[in-house]
Chains A and B, each alone.
Chain A
Amino acid sequence: MTTEAPPKGELRPIVPYLALGNTRDEDYLFGSRCTKCGTLYLGPRLFCGKCSGEGPFETVRLSKEGEVYVWSIIHQSVPWVKVPYIAAVIDLPEGVSVNANIEGIEPKPENLKFGMKVKMFTEVVSQDADGNQYVGYKFRPA
C-alpha cells in the first residue's frame, strides 16, 4: 500500500458512493434521495426500493462525522486482510448508514461504545495489476 502516485493507471474509488476530490481531504461520501418519499440511499440510484418511484433522485453530500450503531471485531477474513480489525455500521446525520472499518484504536471490545462519535478519512487501500489504485474510506474516533 502506497499513497505515492502510481506510474500508470488511475485513482479510483473502491465503492461507487465515494466521490474523489483533488486531495484526500476533499473526498466525500454521497447518497441519492428519492424526491417522492424522501428515502436516502448510498450512491447512485435509479429506482426507489421503498416507494417504487422512478426518481428523480437528488444527490446528497454526506457528512464526515457519524455515530457507531453496532460493531464487531473480525478475527477471520480473506487472506489479504490483516486481522483483527473493527467492522462497524455507522449512522450518518443525513439518515443513512454505511459499513466501515474503524481505525485508530485497538480492536478490543472495551475500546468501543455504541453511539461513539467517529470521523471519516480516506486513503489508498489497494492496487490492481494494471497499476490502478483504489481509494477507500474509514472512520476513526472523533
Chain B
Amino acid sequence: MREVAVIGVSMIKFGRYPERKVEELAARAGLDALKDAGVEMKQIEALYSGNLYQTSGSGQRILQQMGQTGIPVVNVANACATGSTAFREAYFAVASGAYDIVLAIGSEQMGKQGLLGAPRDPATSIEGRIGSYLMPAVFGMAGMEHMRKYGTTQEQFALASVKNHWHSTMNPLAQYQKETPLDEVLNSRVVAYPNTLLMCCPTGDGAAAAVLCSMEKARQFTTQPIKIAASVLTSDPYTDRDLTLPDINTLTRNAAKQAYEMAGIGPEDLDQVELHDCFATAELLHYENLGLCGEGEAAKHIASGAPWLGNKVPTKYEEDVAPFVDKTYKPKTKAVVNVSGGLLSKGHPLGATGVANIAEIVWHLRGQAGARQVEGAKVGLAHVIGLCSACTIHILQR
C-alpha cells in the first residue's frame, strides 16, 4: 500500500434543486474538483460514485454529463456512509497501485421528503404501531440512552445545534446559515423527544467531489497535497440491543481505534473533526465514541468551548452555556467540531455528505476556509455513520 493524497475537492452549495438532474449537480461538483486539482478529465482513470436513491448507473450518468472517457465506474451505496465509502474505494484503488489518479463523487437529490425511509402501506406498516423505526426516533432514543447513563439533558444536547448553526453562518455553501440561540432550538417543535426540529438535519440536494492521486505524482499538480493518513470502514458488531435499537456507538468506537492506529495519532492531535451530527443527540455521543472526551463527559466538553471555532463559546452564547460549564473539566483536545455547520446546518444530501466532509477538511488544511478557518489546522478527522450500520473514518494530514 502506498501513500495517497487528495489533490482537488469541491462541493456545490447544498439546498434544493428541483429543476436540475442529480447527475448535473454531480457533474458540476466533479468538474470543479478537476479544476481545483488542475487535472483534465482524460487523466482520470476511474470514477467511484456514491449515490443512495439513484444508485444504479449514477456514475455513468454523471460521466455522460462531464466526460464519457470509457473509464471504469463503480456505483456505491452504503446508507448515509455512501459518499465516504465511495471515497474509501477510490483511496484503495490508488493505494493498491492499480491507478494513479481517480475521482470520487458523492451526490443525492432528496427533494422535500420529510421522513427518511417512511413506509407506504398503511395496513401492514408497523411504523407508529410497534414503536418507530424512522431516523428521528432512533437517534432520539440513542440520546435517551446517554440520558439514562449520565443524566444528560435536552438542553445539553441542544447546544450542538446552537454551535453548528453558528458555525454555518461562516459557510456560504451550507444549506442554512441562520443562528439559533438555545431558547429558539428548545422552542421549535418536537420531532422525536429529545430532538426538536432545529436538532434534526434537513433533507436536501447536493454533490461533492474529490480527486485522489498517489503521493509520488501529487506534487506534479499541487504544492499542497493532503495526505490520507487513515481510511477505515466498520459495520455493527453483535451487541445486545442492536437489532432493536441500532447501536451507533460500538462501530464508531471500533473505527476510531483503527483510524488512530493507522494514522499513528490520537484525538489530542486533531485540530478539526467533521462528525455525523444527523441529530443533535448524535453529536454528543460521538464526542465520546471518537475519544474527544472521556465517558460521560460529552456535555461538559461542549460547554467547555473546546469544540467551538476558536475553542471558545462566543460571548453572545456564554449565557446559554453557563449553566452547563464545569470549571474543573479540562478538554484533552482542541479539535473544533463541525465548523462547516455540520449535517444540522450544512445539510445532509445522503450520498454527498461523506465527500463534502473530506472537502471541508481539505480546505482547512490548505488554509482556504475563509471566516471559519481553524487556525493552523494540520490534522482533521471525518466521520460518517449510516444505518444499519456502516461507519467510515478518514484522517487527513498536511
Contacts and interface: CB of A to CB of B under 8 A. Distances in A.
Interface stretch (B70-78, B237-245, B263-271, B374-382): B237-245
Interface string B102-135: 0000000000001100110011111111111110
Nearest to B148: A114
B144 interface: yes
Interface residues of A, number: 46
A70 B148 CA distance: 8
B115 A76 contact: yes
Contact of B127 (A75, A78, A84, A100): A78
A71 B189 CA distance: 18
Interface stretch (B38-46, B190-198, B343-351): B190-198
B136 interface: yes
Given A89-B245, A126-B129, A129-B123, A73 B134 contact: no
A93 B208 CA distance: 48
Contact of A80 (B122, B134, B141, B243): B122
B129 A76 contact: no
A59 interface: no
Contacts of B144: 70-72, 114
Contacts of A62: none
A114 B350 CA distance: 33
Contacts of B192: 72-76, 87
A14 to B, nearest CB: 6
A74 B126 contact: no
B387 interface: no
A32 interface: no
A28 interface: no
B145 interface: yes
A129 B193 CA distance: 34
A134 B127 CA distance: 13
Nearest to B200: A76
Contacts of B145: 69-70
Contacts of B124: 14, 126, 128, 134
A72 B195 CA distance: 9
B134 A14 contact: no
A74 B129 CA distance: 12
B190 A73 contact: yes
Given A14-B124, A78-B119, A126-B129, A72 B241 contact: no
B141 A15 contact: no
A89 B123 CA distance: 23
Contacts of B128: 74, 77-78, 80-83, 85, 101
* A42, A77, A84, A109: residue with the most chain B Cβ atoms closer than 10 Å: A77
Given A87-B132, A137-B130, A97 B241 contact: yes
A98 B129 CA distance: 12
A80 B190 CA distance: 19
B122 A126 contact: yes
B132 to A, nearest CB: 4
Nearest to A98: B244
B202 to A, nearest CB: 14
A56 interface: no
Nearest to B190: A75
Given A72-B192, A78-B118, A15 B244 contact: no
A50 interface: yes
A49 B126 CA distance: 23
A80 B130 CA distance: 14
Contacts of B238: 39, 49-50
Contacts of A84: 190
B264 to A, nearest CB: 33
A97 B127 CA distance: 17
A126 B126 CA distance: 10
Given A76-B114, A77-B115, A136 B127 contact: no
Contacts of A77: 115, 127-128, 132, 134
15 contacts: A72-B132, A72-B194, A73-B193, A74-B192, A75-B190, A76-B192, A84-B190, A88-B131, A89-B141, A95-B240, A98-B244, A99-B133, A100-B130, A127-B123, A136-B130
The 3 closest A-B pairs by CB, nearest first: A81-B128, A99-B131, A128-B123
Interface of B: 114-115, 118-119, 122-134, 136-137, 140-141, 144-145, 148, 189-194, 238, 240-241, 243-245
Given A99-B133, A101-B131, 17 more contacts: A14-B126, A15-B126, A49-B238, A70-B141, A70-B144, A72-B144, A72-B192, A74-B132, A74-B193, A76-B191, A78-B118, A80-B125, A95-B240, A97-B244, A99-B131, A101-B130, A125-B129
